[in-house]
């Protein structure tokens, strides 16, 4: 038997939520605050879909959704290989919800749920923040529809989640309180 210890796999926190619900700001704040508070090697993984849209100058077609979902998790896995704690600014579950919303396609659900189950915790950002216009965003009405679809998917597939709400520090505090049991382990 070797004298070394087997490294514990990274814990992954998936942040889900409709557009303009503060996922990116929350992911960045959590990674920073948790690194400082715990001494763990923490990082956050940005949303691949946003990078993809900016690089391509368009939104994806239905046939491109599965690759985008897989790429998000490849980025999460790469971060998990070198960190103790990974905060994922979305998972494949969001891609599946967008496929339902915009293409009427639930073909990604099985893959997305399987990939998302690898997360140790899920935070769901409430649509309680003021809408922030962005050329890649669809609008407040779509935000409400996506939030409903997302909550339905989490419930239908018995995926546990914690709601995150409030403004600024209160929102981060809400997330930290939800994560306390995971971080205590």
Question: Where on the phi/psi map is residue 100: left (φ > 0), alpha (ψ -120 to 50), or beta?
Answer: alpha
CATH of residue 148's domain is: 3.40.50.300
Neighbours of 48 (CB within 10 A): 22
65 domain residue, yes or no: yes
3-state secondary structure of 32: helix
Number of domains in the chain: 1
User: What is the residue range of 25's domain?
Assistant: 11-178
5 domain residue, yes or no: no
Structure tokens at 43: 């990082």
133 domain residue, yes or no: yes
184 domain residue, yes or no: no
CB 31 within 8 A of CB 44: yes
4 domain residue, yes or no: no
- Terminal-residue alpha carbon distance, the chain: 26
Q: What is the pLDDT along the chain (185 residues), one digit of tens a residue?
A: 344 444 558 999 999 999 889 999 999 999 999 999 999 999 999 999 989 989 999 889 999 999 999 999 999 999 999 999 999 999 999 999 999 998 999 999 999 999 999 999 999 999 988 777 666 656 677 889 999 999 999 999 999 999 999 998 999 999 999 999 888 87
Question: Where on the phi/psi map is residue 141: left (φ > 0), alpha (ψ -120 to 50), or beta?
Answer: alpha
134 domain residue, yes or no: yes
125 domain residue, yes or no: yes
């Amino acid at each position: 038997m070797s004298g070394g210890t087997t490294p514990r796999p990274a814990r992954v926190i998936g942040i889900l939520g409709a557009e303009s619900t503060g996922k990116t700001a929350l992911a960045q704040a959590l990674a920073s605050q948790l690194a400082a508070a715990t001494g763990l090697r923490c990082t956050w993984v940005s949303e691949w879909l946003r990078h993809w849209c900016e690089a391509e100058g368009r939104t994806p077609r239905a046939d491109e959704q599965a690759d985008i979902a897989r790429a998000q998790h490849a980025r999460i896995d790469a971060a998990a290989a070198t960190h103790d704690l990974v905060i994922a600014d979305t998972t494949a579950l969001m891609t599946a919800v967008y496929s339902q919303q915009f293409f009427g396609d639930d073909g990604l659900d099985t893959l997305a749920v399987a990939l998302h189950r690898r997360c140790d915790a899920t935070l769901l950002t409430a649509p309680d923040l003021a809408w922030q216009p962005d050329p890649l965003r669809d609008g407040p009405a779509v935000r409400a529809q996506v939030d409903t679809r997302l909550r339905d998917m989490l419930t239908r597939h018995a995926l546990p989640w914690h709601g995150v709400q409030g403004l600024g520090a209160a929102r981060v505090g809400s997330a930290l309180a939800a994560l306390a049991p995971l971080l205590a382990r």
